[in-house]
Amino acid sequence: MIQLYAERSQLKGFAFSSDDRNQEEFDNFFTYVETEDQLRSIREIKSDMEKEQPMDRLLVGDVGFGKTEVAMRAAFKAVNDGKQVAVLVPTTVLAQQHFTNFTERFSEFAVTVAVLSRFQTKSEQEEILNKVKKGQIDIVIGTHRLLSKDVQFSDLGLLVIDEEQRFGVKHKEMLKELKKRIDVLTLTATPIPRTLHMSMLGIRDLSIIETPPTDRYPVQTYVMETNPTVIRDAILRELDRGGQVYYLYNKIDTIEQKVSELRELVPEASIGFIHGRMSEIELESTLFSFIEGEYDVLVTTTIIETGVDIPNANTLFIENADHMGLSTLYQLRGRVGRTNRIAYAYLMYRPDKTLTEISEKRLEAIKGFTELGSGFKIAMQDLSIRGAGNLLGAAQSGFIDSVGYELYSQLLEEAILQKQGKQQKRQKSNSEILLQIDAYLPEDYIADQRQKIEIYKRIKEIDSRVNYEELQIELMDRFGEYPDVVAYLLEIGLLKYFADQVFVEKIERKQETVMVLFEPIAGQYFLTQDYFQALSRTTLKARIAEENGKIMVVFGIRQKKDYEILEGLMTFCEQLVQIKESKKTEND
């Protein structure tokens, strides 16, 4: 992955031409009024495509908020310049649905759209592959089948990935090669924390569609113990208004038993079921029967998490909701409430079960985010509940709470230098700061999520005192006087920069002391007298010790205020930065 991003940062891709009359005609053919967010996202994507550097943009927008239209305009721009487009989706059902939508949207224009999936016979697939290779197909839509070695494009210019998190590590590895020189647009309703983390931290560009279409209501969400009476009443209420119901049950081995229980509980309803072990044909025909209204209730596993668009289904039950991640719950809830009819979601857990703290947080978060357009906030919340995942490996999630990115950037920098034939001695660390000081951007200071992310990102990028002071002035200018929690956040941002430069491994507060632990590599840069020299400039009392070959400085902070502690630590680390710099100058 590091190699890929290093290469992408150096490579030149294809710069698409500016919009012409064809593009304007295609854009104007849209039968709805675009939301402001849609228009802004379209501008950002087109601007990326017109640059030489390959685009890697993440488009975040709730289910049904118009991401597909944005992707279609990008696809048209590519085709209009003689390039091919690949649209990669996680499920065959979704591929079919996209194919129908794309075919309809492009029907008035000279654009050939095809779908490649396991539903087709071998000879049909071979015909499509042959046409793709010859450039006779402009847009091809498919599942990971598109990543197979026998799929060869004549001139691929744009890759659109729908719900990237649904692809496994193996498929993502295959995608990496494909992504090197072409423009990539990734669509998602709730990005997984790692994807969001990379966008927040500048690896990928981010566009957000937060505005719902008109006449859309938030889904009424209830968190409750499993209760047969409530289930029966809610199903009957949905049937009374001519609607349909999803019942999510994620255990394939006992799903048929669950269907029997529901048939007994609600004999008035006709009930079908689907799961991932069914053949594609069975799965497809059951889904189509549900779409046609032959079933009132569909019992299903999380296979419906992405993609099937059934506007008439407006009640959803999820059994054992406490076992699921926040993004999954949010995606599932997005299956209902796609029209101007009020929808209901019941997140259920076993009556005899005590919820873990994480499960409770997840269910409370999903219940709290009932307003439309909160998919993005869900991912933000998930990021803080489960950490950013392992950026460099197969682990999609882990309790590493937001670490890994600085190291990632450092490795990325080193990989680029290596490709340029330069070697680099490691110049900084990735320090951990645990000060038990409240430091964040409160809702009443910056309410807009996009602006919040921008500021958090800027704080992470602080790389000098000048930079820090400029950000202070800018915040006051844009948002007014800031509270202490924001002041502390800025100071911690600057402290972290200084600490990283001087190889601090960890700064940790314990009762009446703060311990600053240095990495062994610090010994190559600093003598013991250097630490004493830096300490002489602070007002905090301290002692120096050694532990397992690592230098440790312990500050006494009894009766000290938070701002005094931060000031003392910053002065100490900044002095060490200056000592390091002066030594470097002498050596040069």
pLDDT above 70 covers a percentage of the chain that reads 77
DSSP class of residue 254 equals: G
Q: How confident is the model at residue 183 (pLDDT cuts 50, 70, 90)?
A: very high
Q: Do 200 and 456 touch, CB atoms closer than 8 A?
A: yes
Run of H or E residues at 479: helix 465-479
pLDDT tops 60 at residue 207: yes
Domains and CATH numbers, the chain: 1-209 (3.40.50.300), 220-386 (3.40.50.300), 432-586 (3.90.1150.50)
Q: What is the pLDDT of residues 123-161, one digit of tens each?
A: 999 999 999 999 999 999 998 888 888 899 999 999 999
Tokens of 264: 């007994």
What pLDDT is stored for residue 215 in this prediction?
62
Q: pLDDT tens digits, residue range 379-417? A: 444 444 433 333 333 333 332 223 233 333 444 445 545
pLDDT of residue 334: 76
pLDDT at 223: 80
**Residue holding tokens 């592959």?**
129
DSSP secondary structure letters along 116-132: E-TTS-HHHHHHHHHHH
Question: pTM (2 decimals)?
Answer: 0.56
Q: What confidence score (pLDDT) does residue 46 get?
A: 97
Q: What is the mean pLDDT of the chain?
A: 80
More confidently predicted of 70 and 223: 70
Contact 5, 67 (CB under 8 A): no
Shortest CA distance to 359 belongs to which of 367, 162, 174, 264?
A: 367
Beta bridge partners of residue 286, listed in sequence order: none
Q: What pLDDT shows up at residue 327?
A: 64
**Rg of the chain on CA atoms, in Å:** 27
Distance CA 462, CA 449 (A): 20
Region 342-363 average pLDDT:
74
- 219 vs 307, residue with greater confidence: 219
Strand pairing partners for 160?
Answer: 87, 185
CA 246 to chain centre: 26
Show the tokens assigned to 503: 């190889």
Residues 308-322: tens digit of each pLDDT: 678 889 999 999 887
Q: What's the first-to-final CA gap in the chain, in angstroms?
A: 34
